[in-house]
Chains A and B, each alone.
Chain A
Amino acid sequence: MSSLIFPAVLSGLMMGAVYALVALGLTLIYGVLHIINFAHGSLLMLALYAVYFLWYHLGIDPYLAIPIVLPAFFALGYALQRGLIAPMSSGSEQNVLLITLAISMIIDNLALYFWTSNTRTADIAYAYDTVEILGAFLPLGRVIAFCAAIAVAPLLWCFMAYTKTGSAIRAVAIEKRGAELVGIDVNHTYAICFGIGTACVALAACLLLPTFYITPQVGYTFVLVAFTTVVLGGMGSLPGALIAGLLLGVIESLCGLFLGESLGQIGIFLAFILILLFKPSGLLGRAR
């Protein structure tokens, strides 16, 4: 058994990096807008289909689709926040939650209608080439996903710390009224945030597609893990989301190993409930 643990931990880390990437988008939106985006998983599903169709119809390699899908989903996220969520929510937090829930219902059910519930996979042969890491064999696609996802977190952090837009976002997150008074366009900043959050999902989709399947429900699997990641990492904390994502990937993988595949996710939710019991502010979160 112990010989299986190390590969399981490694493969958990690979998956965890993608969880972290999805959660980064979610936590960014939470940190600034103070809402949980319930449509996050649906947007991931949509992005997966977009990447899939680019590959299927136009033969574009998923990794090469990044420069197309990323800006497109940034724009989509921006438009959703600016054009739908902000004007329809009348500024109430609960309404925003409900609207994102409604958006996810629309996307999910339309996907089910147009693309049926059939499971699809992209056959990208080289993604399943194995790479040997410290004696464990891992699919190349997962290793690429891991490296790319790990690289994004510091990039995003630098963006927040050193660019003008980044400081505007931080200002709005801390004190919306004050930011407004010094001339920051709050609605624009919110929408940018939502756009970046959505772009994170698009990137995750490009990285996932080579080694993952798609169905209209696939987003749901991810979003629940992403929620847990965000809470575990401390709502709104970028480094927290990264660490928590990796941790949860490992937990899931080990639970799957010891309890059986279908119970793998139970470990994640148990972790979730334990965090709520003992440390609701998360690993790196500030007290609320």
Chain B
Amino acid sequence: MKSQSIGQLALAAAAVAYLIGVYFASSPVWMGFTINALIIAVVAMSWNITGGFGGLSSFGHAALYGTGAYASAILQVKYGVNAWVGFAAGILAGAAMGAFIGALAFRYGLRGSYFALVTLAFAEVLRICASSFEFTGGGSGLQLKLAPGLANLQFADRTVVYTALLVVVAVVMILTALIKYSRFGAYLIAVRENEDAARALGIDTYRIKVQAMAISGAFGGLAGVLYLQLWLFIDSTVVYGSAISVEALIGPIIGGAGTVWGPLLGTLGLHLLGEGAKHLLPNAPGLNFVLYAVVLICALRFLPQGLVGLAGKFGAFTKKKEAEDA
């Protein structure tokens, strides 16, 4: 819906204020934490394309994230390819994996439980493969050579990394907004709401869904490459593990699935909550996931449209009134 409310603007403003505030906090811990959250936010935005707009809930977005990271890492480590080329290749590989999974899954019109299972299975197959073959570094993973510099896409200065990530996040959000207000976006939403009606209206629903998976794959692959360039190390559990798949879906659902700001807001909110919990109970690894799960359950029950939907109820200045008067 095109109408925005004061509540939503305030929410977006708060997020922006926080992201700018990180510059002035002069705390490397804080900045490092936000950097991690932003990478996850990109995966969340990737999930949002299929899960949010298309109503196709994937439980295995790690398949896309990991494929992007591995494609770039293999090219760089095994073939000495430049990091920028690896970057582009990672995005393309993610898109190709997305299209491939989509093409297989949608051939039989898989939805709901089935689609969730298939995506999960793909992520698992890839995880086991990546940990078993020498080509992918096996159990010990792949390590990039430390060589800071713009040419190698490695930055020693955290502030530069952070700024670059903010730019990437902004670009992905702008692309999301463009998709939302395009023919493709309208078709995707139509597919989510009622696939039969969409087909009747001349929409090739299979194609739309596969395209959505490809775009989602490109974003997911992008996130994977970002992670690689930041940590210079990946292994199968880190990039293909189920934790990524879970984080990919939980942020958008809490923030507001099918909205431009939802994935960012949800992911930031959750990570802040998790970080806060870590300070209260320092020796409890995994506690953040327990918290996420509780928040998820509550959000499903009480915030069906996520934070964005909730904020939309405050100070709405829609055209509704005029329309009723007319």
Contacts and interface: CB of A to CB of B under 8 A. Distances in A.
Judged by CB atoms under 8 Å, the answer to whether A and B touch is yes
Interface of A: 30, 34-36, 38, 84, 87-90, 93-95, 97-99, 101-103, 105-106, 108-110, 112-113, 220, 224, 227-228, 231, 235, 260, 262-263, 265-266, 269-270, 272-273, 276-277, 280, 288
Interface string B100-133: 0000110010101110111011101100110110
A276 B105 CA distance: 8
A94 B294 CA distance: 17
Contacts of B156: none
B113 to A, nearest CB: 4
A113 B285 contact: yes
Nearest to B122: A273
A102 B293 CA distance: 5
A108 B297 CA distance: 16
Given A97-B116, A105-B292, A270-B125, A112 B104 contact: no
A276 B104 contact: yes
| Interchain residue pairs A-B with the least CB separation, the first 8 | A109-B286, A102-B293, A105-B293, A269-B125, A36-B113, A280-B108, A88-B301, A109-B289
Given A98-B253, A266-B132, A227 B296 contact: no
Interface string B238-275: 00001000100100010000000000000000000000
Contacts, number: 113
Nearest to A89: B300
Contact of A269 (B57, B124, B246): B124
Interface string B202-242: 00000000000000000000000000000000000000001
B87 interface: no
A213 B294 CA distance: 29
A276 B118 CA distance: 8
B117 A231 contact: yes
B129 A266 contact: yes
B290 interface: yes
Contacts of B114: 231, 235, 280, 288
Interface string B56-99: 01010000000000000000000000000000000000000000
Given A34-B113, A97-B113, A102 B128 contact: no
A270 B121 CA distance: 10
Given A105-B290, A272-B121, A262 B131 contact: yes
23 contacts: A36-B113, A38-B59, A87-B301, A97-B57, A101-B59, A101-B296, A102-B292, A102-B294, A106-B290, A109-B290, A112-B286, A113-B284, A231-B114, A262-B131, A262-B132, A265-B128, A266-B128, A269-B125, A273-B104, A273-B121, A273-B125, A280-B108, A280-B110
A250 to B, nearest CB: 19
Interface of B: 57, 59, 104-105, 108, 110, 112-114, 116-118, 120-122, 124-125, 128-129, 131-132, 242, 246, 249, 253, 284-287, 289-290, 292-294, 296-298, 300-301, 304
Is chain A's binding surface mostly helix, strand, loop or mixed?
Answer: helix
Given A35-B113, A36-B113, A276-B105, A269 B297 contact: no
Contacts of A89: 300-301
B246 A94 contact: no
A263 B129 CA distance: 8
Nearest to B298: A88
A109 B286 CA distance: 5
Contacts of A113: 284-287, 290
A102 to B, nearest CB: 4
A90 B300 contact: yes
Contacts of A35: 113
Contacts of A265: 128
B292 A269 contact: no
B113 A93 contact: yes
Contacts of B129: 266
Given A102-B296, A105-B246, A224-B121, A30 B113 contact: yes
Given A101-B246, A102-B294, A266-B132, A227 B300 contact: no
A265 to B, nearest CB: 6
B130 to A, nearest CB: 11
Given A30-B113, A36-B117, A276-B108, A263 B301 contact: no
Contacts of A220: 242
**Could you say which of A84, A101, A277 has the most chain B C-beta atoms within 10 Å of its C-beta?**
A101
